[in-house]
């Protein structure tokens, strides 16, 4: 497990709770910013993670620390965030919440409140002022095993406070940089209340009996980036969110490692804040954290390399730093996106070029699930398995090497022309991973912003996330929810490179945005529209009107044959834009239209120049065999004139993205072109 203690005094208190310090250092590589200390407590192998000396602390620093700990130790069982916080007493409520310096705060949900409230993460609105994202609720929740241990302590400390105080008593005389961890004394515990007129008043509170000196408070804790030394603002946050304390790291940690948050009260979040109480508060929080570890039976390795639970009360000798994560650090990191190449087949090749479509598959590694609560497996594969798939071992074997399902995150990209089989290969991979009962399989249609958002909202529902999320909140929530699962595969189908040229005039911005929405943000449709507007000098507004008119027509006439491996109600946007372009070509140049119509009956790849020239012949019944045609054929006295016409035809088809140059015809090579597959459909 990982014990996160951001401040130096918090880390020093943690070190005094360790039963055995492990020798050695963890290997580091470029990009590793934090040094982790290792040891064992009550049979648990742990690492202590703290911020570098002099680094400013807060949610951002804590997030970076937690992210690197998660990367460095991918097999972490659970984590604890242990340190100091500001307590928020409320003596006017019934019963009074008489929080005092040195008390312990434990983050747990209470009523409608979440266990952690990210109170300064949100947006400013005109009507409501500041509006916290997700009502301030941090998405991730503490691991169930930690909550169970806290619940056990909560039940038993009413009768026996020594459950955690024994650990404090054993280390209170130990030294830190500026002294010891002793109680500064209740006489030095000063609470000031803010009156309605803005003046402070010292509250007179009776000292507690020695046997009841320390109290544990359970409830929501506020987490924010700023250091708070304002009594009025403190009280506003307390009353608005019903929180018992304020701290600065948990919101940055929780969505990376779902830690248990344990805090000792060192101040009251006002101008009287000082560091006098930090050592004692850090020690009390550390003592409670050790009591939590005592409630959790540690996992131990057997002689055969497996895991067993330690016997009750058993304390075992530490096995050194390597045993903490049950395996070595993954030094490889994420694999770069890679293009997979297959031999030519009836589907056409999948190869590296300016791809018209792309399917991205991302997976995470496996972890030792015997150390974790049973995962909630989510699956959303939208297509049935294609039993007629033609095997392509070169592609599938390389895909399996890139995405082996081992420790660490992996990603790969399948790119190629539309219809070349990218989706089917990704589908086959997903179904092969389905044999793992603990693997979540998630599929996102990324061909348009609308379909992407819809599928992300569907995944959010499967993960139990709020159904009203949108925009960046939805993206972050789904990402965090997916990463909380032990094993998963995410497929982004048809993930083209969506880019926007923002150099349009201000007057056309509105129409351009509407047009992009009408085109479902599909790159091919946008390319078609741009080619048409450029060639015909059509304004964005005029093209928008035309595409809307065509859409109304397609609602009546645009019926496509059902394909069980494609989504129902798939967008006809590309066909609509092509319809406009084809109609324009027919009116502008009948020869160009006739050539395109003829080419629709041939294979779409590596079309020789001579074949296009023959398609342009007025009498196609008399087409010469291809073997007798060459670029130097001069039997006709009008050959030069015909050549110019053919070049003009090819230029026009390339302008409208129907053709692309495959071979320029240099160094003795024959000129050749590729045609988009949709022309043949």
Percentage of the chain exceeding pLDDT 90: 18
Contact by Cβ (8 Å): 151, 115: no
189 plus 262 within the same structural domain: yes
pLDDT tier at 289, thresholds 50, 70, 90: very high
293 plus 434 within the same structural domain: no
559 plus 593 within the same structural domain: no
pLDDT tier at 18, thresholds 50, 70, 90: very high
464 plus 600 within the same structural domain: no
CA 127 and chain centroid, separation: 31
Q: What is the CATH number of the domain that holds 171?
A: 3.40.50.1580
| Helical pair 278-295 and 162-169, crossing angle rounded to 10 deg | 130
What per-residue confidence (pLDDT) applies to 497?
Answer: 53
374 plus 488 within the same structural domain: yes
Per-residue burial over 186-217, b = 16 or more CB atoms within 10 Å of its CB, e = otherwise: eeebebebbeeeeeeeeeeeeebeeeebbebb
Contact by Cβ (8 Å): 257, 72: no
Residue 154 pLDDT greater than 80, yes or no: yes
Q: Does residue 201 lie within any of the structural domains?
A: yes
Distance CA 262, CA 79 (A): 11
Q: Does residue 581 lie within any of the structural domains?
A: no
Chosen domain end from 493, 516, 551: 493
Q: Does residue 63 lie within any of the structural domains?
A: yes
Most confident of 189-203, 380-394, 628-642: 189-203
Most confident of 160-169, 495-504, 636-645: 160-169
Q: Does residue 337 lie within any of the structural domains?
A: no
Q: What is the mean pLDDT of residues 620-630?
A: 42
210 plus 316 within the same structural domain: yes
444 plus 536 within the same structural domain: no
Q: What is the DSSP string of 432-448?
A: HHTTSTTEEEEEEE-SS
Q: Does residue 333 lie within any of the structural domains?
A: no
Chosen domain end from 325, 348, 367: 325
Domain that holds residue 610: 589-681
| Helical pair 639-655 and 523-536, crossing angle rounded to 10 deg | 130
What per-residue confidence (pLDDT) applies to 211?
Answer: 85
429 plus 527 within the same structural domain: no
In terms of DSSP bridges, do strands 221-223 and 245-247 run parallel, antiparallel, or are they unpaired? parallel
Chosen domain end from 571, 604, 628: 571
406 plus 454 within the same structural domain: yes
Write the DSSP symbol of residue 512.
H
Number of domains in the chain: 4
Is residue 669 left, alpha or beta, with left meaning phi > 0 and alpha meaning psi from -120 to 50?
Answer: beta
**Of 262, 224, 260, whose CA–CA distance to 103 is shortest?**
262
Whole-number average pLDDT of the chain: 74
Q: Does residue 284 lie within any of the structural domains?
A: yes
pTM above 0.75, yes or no: no
Write the DSSP symbol of residue 223.
E
């Amino acid at each position: 497990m990982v014990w996160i203690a951001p401040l130096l005094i918090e880390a020093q208190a943690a070190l005094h709770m360790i039963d055995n310090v492990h020798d050695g250092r963890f290997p580091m590589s470029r990009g590793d910013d934090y040094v982790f200390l290792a040891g064992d407590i009550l049979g648990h192998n742990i690492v202590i993670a703290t911020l570098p000396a002099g680094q400013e602390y807060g949610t951002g620093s804590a997030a970076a620390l937690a992210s690197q700990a998660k990367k460095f130790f991918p097999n972490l069982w659970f984590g604890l965030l242990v340190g100091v916080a500001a307590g928020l007493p409320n003596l006017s409520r019934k019963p009074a919440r008489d929080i005092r310096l040195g008390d312990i705060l434990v983050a747990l949900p209470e009523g409608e409140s979440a266990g952690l409230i990210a109170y300064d993460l949100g947006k400013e609105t005109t009507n409501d002022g500041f509006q916290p994202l997700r009502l301030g609720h941090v998405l991730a929740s503490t691991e169930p095993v930690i909550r169970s241990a806290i619940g056990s302590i909560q039940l038993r400390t009413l009768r026996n406070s020594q459950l955690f105080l024994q650990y404090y008593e054993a280390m209170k005389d130990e030294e830190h940089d500026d002294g010891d961890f002793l109680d500064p004394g209740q006489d030095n515990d000063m609470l000031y209340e803010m009156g309605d007129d803005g003046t402070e008043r010292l509250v007179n509170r009776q000292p507690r009996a020695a046997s009841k000196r320390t109290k544990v408070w359970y409830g929501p804790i506020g987490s924010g980036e700023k250091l708070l030394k304002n009594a009025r603002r403190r009280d506003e946050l307390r009353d608005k969110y019903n929180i018992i304390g304020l701290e600065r790291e948990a919101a940055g940690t929780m969505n990376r490692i779902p830690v248990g948050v344990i805090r000792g009260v060192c101040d009251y979040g006002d101008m009287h804040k000082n560091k006098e109480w930090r050592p004692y508060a850090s020690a009390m929080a550390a003592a409670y954290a050790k009591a939590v570890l005592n409630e959790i039976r540690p996992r131990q390795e057997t002689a055969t390399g497996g895991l067993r639970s330690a016997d009750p009360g058993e304390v075992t000798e530490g096995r050194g730093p390597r045993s903490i994560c049950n395996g070595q650090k993954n030094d490889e990191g994420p694999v770069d996106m890679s293009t997979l190449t297959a031999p030519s087949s009836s589907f056409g090749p999948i190869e590296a070029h300016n791809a018209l479509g792309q399917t991205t598959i991302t997976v995470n590694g496996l972890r030792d699930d015997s150390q974790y609560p049973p995962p909630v497996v989510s699956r959303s594969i939208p297509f049935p398995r294609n039993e007629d798939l033609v095997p392509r071992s070169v592609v599938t074997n390389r895909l399996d090497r890139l995405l082996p399902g081992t420790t660490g995150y992996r990603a790969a990209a399948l790119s190629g022309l539309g219809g070349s089989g990218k989706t089917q290969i990704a589908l086959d991979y997903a179904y092969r991973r389905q044999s793992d009962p603990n693997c979540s399989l998630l599929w996102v249609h990324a061909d348009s912003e609308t379909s992407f958002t819809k599928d992300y909202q569907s995944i959010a529902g499967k993960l139990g996330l709020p159904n009203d999320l949108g925009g960046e909140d939805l993206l972050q929530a789904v990402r965090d929810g997916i990463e909380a699962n032990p094993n998963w595969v995410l497929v982004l189908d048809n993930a083209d490179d969506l880019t926007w040229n923002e150099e349009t005039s201000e007057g056309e911005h509105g129409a351009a945005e509407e047009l992009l929405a009408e085109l479902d943000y599909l790159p091919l449709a946008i390319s078609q529209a741009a080619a048409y507007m450029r060639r015909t000098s059509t304004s964005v507004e005029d093209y928008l009107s035309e595409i809307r008119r065509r859409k109304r027509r397609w609602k009546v006439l645009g019926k496509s044959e059902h394909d069980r491996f494609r989504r129902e109600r798939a967008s006809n946007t590309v066909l609509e834009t092509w319809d406009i372009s084809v109609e324009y070509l027919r009116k502008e140049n009948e020869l160009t239209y006739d050539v395109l119509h003829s080419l629709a009956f041939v294979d779409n790849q590596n079309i020789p120049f001579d074949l296009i020239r023959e398609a342009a012949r007025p009498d196609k019944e008399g087409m010469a065999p291809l073997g007798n045609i060459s670029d130097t054929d001069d039997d006709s006295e009008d050959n030069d004139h015909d050549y110019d016409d053919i070049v003009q035809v090819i230029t026009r088809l390339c302008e409208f993205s129907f053709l692309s140059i495959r071979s320029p015809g240099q160094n003795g090579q024959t000129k050749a072109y590729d045609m988009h597959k949709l022309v043949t459909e």
